[in-house]
Amino acid sequence: MDPDRSVTYEEERQQAYKRQTNVGKQKLSKMMIVIVALLEISAMGGMAYLIYLIYFK
């Protein structure tokens, strides 16, 4: 096999891999931020409910 051909194929494969993962990472990071924010809100609501049950009933 020609060494130049394998290097070109490897570079092309790496570039294709980077293009696909960059798009996925952007969507993934936005989704993770939203999910963590929702979990934090849920946790605060749960703690507020527990405080209400313990101190006000």
The secondary structure of 3-57, three-state, reads: HHHHHHHHHHHHHHHHHHHHHHHHHHHHHHHHHHHHHHHHHHHHHHHHHHHHHHC
Q: Domain limits at 44?
A: 1-57
Asked whether the predicted pLDDT for residue 1 surpasses 70, the reply is no
Give the Cα separation of 25 and 56 in Å (integer): 45
Q: Is 48 exposed, middle or buried (0-12, 13-18, 19+ CB in 10 A)?
A: exposed
Tell me what pLDDT residue 6 has.
Answer: 60
The residue type at 1: M
pLDDT at 51: 97
How many distinct structural domains can be found in the chain? Answer: 1
The 10s digit of each residue's pLDDT in 25-52 is 677 889 999 999 999 999 999 999 999 9
pLDDT, tens digit, for every residue of 2-30?
A: 555 566 788 887 887 777 766 666 778 89
